[in-house]
Structure 1
Amino acid sequence: RAVKFTKRGLFLESLIYYHKYVVNPLVDVLRIIYTPFQADSFLIHASRDFPVEVVLTLEKLYGVKTIEDIVDRIELTDELFRNAVAEADIMLLQSKEGESLTDTNP
Protein backbone atom coordinates (compact mmCIF):
# COMPACT_ATOMS: atom_id res chain seq x y z
CA ARG A 1 0.00 0.00 0.00
CA ALA A 2 2.84 2.39 0.71
CA VAL A 3 4.07 1.98 -2.85
CA LYS A 4 0.59 2.59 -4.25
CA PHE A 5 0.26 5.90 -2.43
CA THR A 6 3.78 7.01 -3.33
CA LYS A 7 2.90 6.49 -6.99
CA ARG A 8 -0.16 8.68 -6.45
CA GLY A 9 2.00 11.39 -4.88
CA LEU A 10 0.11 11.36 -1.57
CA PHE A 11 2.65 11.96 1.19
CA LEU A 12 0.51 11.50 4.31
CA GLU A 13 -1.07 8.30 3.08
CA SER A 14 2.32 7.03 1.94
CA LEU A 15 3.80 7.87 5.34
CA ILE A 16 1.20 6.05 7.42
CA TYR A 17 1.38 2.91 5.29
CA TYR A 18 5.18 3.10 5.18
CA HIS A 19 5.24 3.09 8.96
CA LYS A 20 2.51 0.49 9.42
CA TYR A 21 3.49 -2.05 6.77
CA VAL A 22 7.17 -1.40 6.07
CA VAL A 23 9.16 -0.05 9.04
CA ASN A 24 7.11 -1.18 12.04
CA PRO A 25 7.34 -4.89 11.12
CA LEU A 26 11.13 -4.49 10.97
CA VAL A 27 11.11 -3.09 14.51
CA ASP A 28 9.00 -6.04 15.65
CA VAL A 29 11.56 -8.52 14.31
CA LEU A 30 14.48 -6.53 15.72
CA ARG A 31 12.79 -6.70 19.12
CA ILE A 32 12.59 -10.48 18.82
CA ILE A 33 16.31 -10.59 18.02
CA TYR A 34 17.65 -8.14 20.60
CA THR A 35 15.09 -8.18 23.42
CA PRO A 36 12.95 -11.30 23.05
CA PHE A 37 11.52 -10.93 26.55
CA GLN A 38 10.46 -7.36 25.78
CA ALA A 39 9.30 -7.96 22.23
CA ASP A 40 6.22 -5.77 22.69
CA SER A 41 8.18 -2.64 23.70
CA PHE A 42 8.30 -1.38 20.09
CA LEU A 43 10.45 1.79 20.07
CA ILE A 44 10.37 2.37 23.84
CA HIS A 45 14.02 2.33 24.97
CA ALA A 46 15.13 1.37 21.45
CA SER A 47 18.25 3.53 21.80
CA ARG A 48 19.18 1.58 24.91
CA ASP A 49 18.15 -1.89 23.72
CA PHE A 50 19.47 -1.95 20.15
CA PRO A 51 23.07 -1.72 18.94
CA VAL A 52 24.13 1.77 17.85
CA GLU A 53 24.19 0.85 14.15
CA VAL A 54 20.62 -0.46 14.35
CA VAL A 55 19.46 2.73 16.10
CA LEU A 56 21.11 4.89 13.45
CA THR A 57 19.50 2.84 10.69
CA LEU A 58 16.06 3.11 12.29
CA GLU A 59 16.50 6.86 12.72
CA LYS A 60 17.24 7.09 9.00
CA LEU A 61 14.29 4.88 8.08
CA TYR A 62 11.85 6.85 10.24
CA GLY A 63 13.31 10.21 9.20
CA VAL A 64 11.48 10.50 5.91
CA LYS A 65 10.38 13.94 4.76
CA THR A 66 9.30 13.41 1.18
CA ILE A 67 7.68 10.80 -1.01
CA GLU A 68 11.07 10.26 -2.63
CA ASP A 69 12.54 9.44 0.80
CA ILE A 70 9.83 6.83 1.31
CA VAL A 71 10.41 5.28 -2.11
CA ASP A 72 14.16 5.11 -1.49
CA ARG A 73 13.78 3.53 1.93
CA ILE A 74 11.13 0.93 1.09
CA GLU A 75 13.66 -1.23 -0.77
CA LEU A 76 16.31 -0.84 1.95
CA THR A 77 13.78 -1.66 4.67
CA ASP A 78 12.60 -4.72 2.79
CA GLU A 79 16.16 -6.02 2.58
CA LEU A 80 16.79 -5.30 6.27
CA PHE A 81 13.52 -7.02 7.19
CA ARG A 82 14.38 -10.15 5.22
CA ASN A 83 17.83 -10.30 6.83
CA ALA A 84 16.36 -9.79 10.30
CA VAL A 85 13.77 -12.53 9.75
CA ALA A 86 16.53 -14.90 8.62
CA GLU A 87 18.57 -14.05 11.73
CA ALA A 88 15.56 -14.55 14.01
CA ASP A 89 14.86 -17.88 12.31
CA ILE A 90 18.43 -19.03 12.95
CA MET A 91 18.14 -17.98 16.59
CA LEU A 92 14.90 -19.92 16.92
CA LEU A 93 16.44 -23.03 15.39
CA GLN A 94 19.45 -22.76 17.70
CA SER A 95 17.13 -22.34 20.66
CA LYS A 96 15.16 -25.43 19.68
CA GLU A 97 18.39 -27.40 19.19
CA GLY A 98 19.53 -26.35 22.65
CA GLU A 99 16.22 -27.43 24.15
CA SER A 100 16.39 -30.84 22.48
CA LEU A 101 19.93 -31.34 23.77
CA THR A 102 18.87 -30.61 27.33
CA ASP A 103 15.83 -32.88 26.96
CA THR A 104 18.01 -35.85 25.95
CA ASN A 105 20.57 -35.45 28.74
CA PRO A 106 19.71 -37.48 31.86
Structure 2
Amino acid sequence: MAYKEPTFQDRAALAAQAKQKAIEKLKAKPPVDPAVAAARAAAREAKEAALVKKREEKAAAIEQARLDKIAKAEAAAAAIEAEKQRLIDADIAAKAARDARYAARKAKR
Protein backbone atom coordinates (compact mmCIF):
# COMPACT_ATOMS: atom_id res chain seq x y z
CA MET A 1 0.00 0.00 0.00
CA ALA A 2 1.46 3.35 -1.07
CA TYR A 3 1.48 6.61 0.89
CA LYS A 4 -1.70 8.59 0.36
CA GLU A 5 -1.54 12.38 0.66
CA PRO A 6 -4.26 13.52 3.14
CA THR A 7 -6.87 15.76 1.57
CA PHE A 8 -8.08 19.02 2.97
CA GLN A 9 -11.18 17.32 4.36
CA ASP A 10 -8.99 14.71 6.13
CA ARG A 11 -6.83 17.40 7.71
CA ALA A 12 -9.88 19.48 8.73
CA ALA A 13 -11.49 16.39 10.31
CA LEU A 14 -8.31 15.61 12.25
CA ALA A 15 -8.13 19.21 13.48
CA ALA A 16 -11.78 19.13 14.55
CA GLN A 17 -11.21 15.84 16.40
CA ALA A 18 -8.17 17.28 18.20
CA LYS A 19 -10.11 20.41 19.12
CA GLN A 20 -13.04 18.34 20.45
CA LYS A 21 -10.64 16.18 22.47
CA ALA A 22 -9.02 19.27 24.01
CA ILE A 23 -12.45 20.71 24.94
CA GLU A 24 -13.50 17.42 26.55
CA LYS A 25 -10.25 17.27 28.50
CA LEU A 26 -10.78 20.83 29.73
CA LYS A 27 -14.39 20.10 30.74
CA ALA A 28 -13.27 16.97 32.63
CA LYS A 29 -11.04 19.09 34.86
CA PRO A 30 -12.46 19.55 38.38
CA PRO A 31 -13.51 23.10 39.29
CA VAL A 32 -11.08 25.19 41.34
CA ASP A 33 -11.88 25.20 45.06
CA PRO A 34 -12.58 28.80 46.23
CA ALA A 35 -10.40 28.28 49.32
CA VAL A 36 -7.48 27.20 47.15
CA ALA A 37 -8.05 30.15 44.81
CA ALA A 38 -8.11 32.54 47.79
CA ALA A 39 -4.91 31.01 49.19
CA ARG A 40 -3.21 31.40 45.80
CA ALA A 41 -4.34 35.02 45.55
CA ALA A 42 -3.08 35.75 49.07
CA ALA A 43 0.27 34.14 48.28
CA ARG A 44 0.52 36.15 45.07
CA GLU A 45 -0.27 39.40 46.92
CA ALA A 46 2.32 38.59 49.62
CA LYS A 47 4.92 37.90 46.95
CA GLU A 48 4.12 41.17 45.19
CA ALA A 49 4.33 43.07 48.50
CA ALA A 50 7.72 41.48 49.19
CA LEU A 51 8.93 42.50 45.72
CA VAL A 52 7.73 46.07 46.24
CA LYS A 53 9.49 46.21 49.61
CA LYS A 54 12.68 44.81 48.08
CA ARG A 55 12.57 47.41 45.29
CA GLU A 56 12.04 50.22 47.79
CA GLU A 57 14.95 48.99 49.93
CA LYS A 58 17.18 48.80 46.87
CA ALA A 59 16.18 52.32 45.80
CA ALA A 60 16.84 53.58 49.33
CA ALA A 61 20.26 51.89 49.34
CA ILE A 62 21.12 53.46 45.98
CA GLU A 63 20.01 56.89 47.21
CA GLN A 64 22.03 56.48 50.42
CA ALA A 65 25.11 55.50 48.40
CA ARG A 66 24.61 58.58 46.23
CA LEU A 67 24.30 60.81 49.29
CA ASP A 68 27.40 59.20 50.83
CA LYS A 69 29.33 59.85 47.64
CA ILE A 70 28.21 63.49 47.61
CA ALA A 71 29.15 63.91 51.28
CA LYS A 72 32.55 62.35 50.63
CA ALA A 73 33.14 64.69 47.69
CA GLU A 74 32.09 67.69 49.77
CA ALA A 75 34.43 66.63 52.58
CA ALA A 76 37.29 66.26 50.10
CA ALA A 77 36.53 69.70 48.67
CA ALA A 78 36.47 71.19 52.17
CA ALA A 79 39.84 69.55 52.95
CA ILE A 80 41.32 70.94 49.75
CA GLU A 81 39.96 74.39 50.56
CA ALA A 82 41.40 74.18 54.10
CA GLU A 83 44.81 73.18 52.70
CA LYS A 84 44.69 76.11 50.27
CA GLN A 85 43.88 78.48 53.13
CA ARG A 86 46.73 77.01 55.23
CA LEU A 87 49.18 77.56 52.36
CA ILE A 88 47.94 81.13 51.88
CA ASP A 89 48.35 81.81 55.61
CA ALA A 90 51.85 80.32 55.51
CA ASP A 91 52.75 82.55 52.56
CA ILE A 92 51.40 85.61 54.40
CA ALA A 93 53.39 84.70 57.51
CA ALA A 94 56.55 84.15 55.46
CA LYS A 95 56.07 87.50 53.73
CA ALA A 96 55.51 89.22 57.09
CA ALA A 97 58.70 87.64 58.48
CA ARG A 98 60.65 88.73 55.39
CA ASP A 99 59.27 92.25 55.67
CA ALA A 100 60.22 92.33 59.37
CA ARG A 101 63.78 91.28 58.56
CA TYR A 102 63.95 93.89 55.84
CA ALA A 103 62.64 96.56 58.20
CA ALA A 104 65.17 95.49 60.86
CA ARG A 105 68.02 95.81 58.35
CA LYS A 106 66.70 99.23 57.32
CA ALA A 107 66.49 100.29 60.97
CA LYS A 108 70.16 99.33 61.59
CA ARG A 109 71.42 101.71 58.92
Indicate the TM-score class for this superposition, using the shorter chain for normalisation: 0.3 to 0.5
TM-score normalised by L of structure 2: 0.34
> Relative contact order (C-alpha < 8 Å, sep 6+): which is higher?
1
Write 1 or 2 for the structure with the bigger share of helix: 2
